[in-house]
Amino acid sequence: MFAAIRHIFAKALILGLVAGFAVPAFAAEGTKLFSFVSENEEIVAALTPEDAALGEDAGAIGKALHDRGTLTVWRYAVRKAKDGELEQAPLKEISVQAEGTVRVEPYTTPLRVVPLQ
């Protein structure tokens, strides 16, 4: 009896670990999100298609922001999808100012990320 309980517990543990790793991997394959951090707030955003050539390097994005003075990005926010699950989705296109922005860093989420249309 204890062997059966151990076997069930081991299966549940393995399934839990696999499920825990599957969600972030799913979110990481789509649109790449970044966090633009200032003294007052943190903005989660994705690059516009025009700036997608900057890639996934937060340093390159920070340098482009500093060199240009502003960077237009798509702000993302959490919403409930039609299937009832939470997801990160584009909210609106905004301009991020270099002045006051302290850092740019990659943003990871366990939620589904809705790509830009």
Query: pTM here?
Result: 0.73
Q: Are 76 and 90 in contact (CB under 8 A)?
A: yes
Q: Are 53 and 32 in contact (CB under 8 A)?
A: no
The CATH class, in words, for 31-113 is mainly beta
> What are the pLDDT digits (tens) for 81-92?
999 999 999 999
> What are the pLDDT digits (tens) for 15-43?
343 334 333 333 345 689 999 999 999 99
